[in-house]
Amino acid sequence: MAPAQEETGDLRLTSLWLFTEETRMPTWKTPRRAALRALAGTVLTAAVAGTLLAPAASAVASRARTGTPAPVHTEKLVDGSTAEIYKLGAHHYRMEIIDRDAVYARLEANQRDAGVDANDMFVVLTFDGQVHSWIGGGHRGPGGFRLPDDSTAKVTKVGPHHYRARIMDRGHVVARLEANQRDAGMDGNGLFVVLTFDGEISASLT
């Protein structure tokens, strides 16, 4: 049977990493992680999986939110900010980036992983609510770049603010990332990858 593909999302998996059309969940991992920073009072937002999430009304306002459920867990990001992760449904999580008790941005992963480059801090939020962040290591496409697990990312420009990355291992395409007007991210069994809409790719191996 030919490898399945998901044509419209940011993440399209083929070959060894299959993508199921019915569930839109990667079948190469069991249900098990893009953060944004604000500088000089600037509020940043992210669009993930077709959803634009508005930031808090004021990035300097108090975070008091009556009736908001408690996060399922929190994690410290590498830039010192804090990620609060909320479960919205099965394989559906939202992350709020907190600094100095203010919500600077929200990011949502719904049935697929999400990723972002926030001023050279790369972050992935998985569809099962895990977070991984790292600093630097970016390569500017188009071109071919070696990743930390010795696979290769081949980045091509599709159009304005639209790039595609093919992850190659021993001559085979094992995954694809599509960043179209927004960043994209994925967790490939411990290899976290972010591809930005302007063609930069970075990866971190855990």
Q: What single-letter DSSP state applies at residue 199?
A: S
Q: Over 50: is that where the pLDDT of 91 sits?
A: yes
The band of 24, judged by pLDDT with boundaries at 50, 70 and 90, is: very low
Q: Tell me, what's the pLDDT at 69? A: 81
The DSSP-derived string for 3-30 is PP--SSSSEE--TTS-B-TTT-SBTTS-
Q: Tell me, what's the pLDDT at 107? A: 81
Report which residue type is found at 91.
Answer: H
Higher pLDDT: 93 or 10? It is: 93
Q: And the tokens for 139?
A: 């390569």
Mean pLDDT taken over the chain: 76
Q: Over 90: is that where the pLDDT of 164 sits?
A: yes
Express as a percent the part of the chain with pLDDT over 90.
56
Q: Does residue 198 contact residue 182 with C-beta atoms inside 8 Å?
A: no
Q: Tell me, what's the pLDDT at 63? A: 55
Cα separation, 136 vs 141, in Å, equals 15
Q: Over 60: is that where the pLDDT of 143 sits?
A: yes
Q: Tell me, what's the pLDDT at 78? A: 95
Comparing 28-32, 65-69, 89-93, 119-123, the range with the smallest average pLDDT is 28-32
Comparing 26-30, 108-112, 157-161, 166-170, the range with the smallest average pLDDT is 26-30
Residues 108/4/178/51 CA torsion (nearest 10 deg): -30
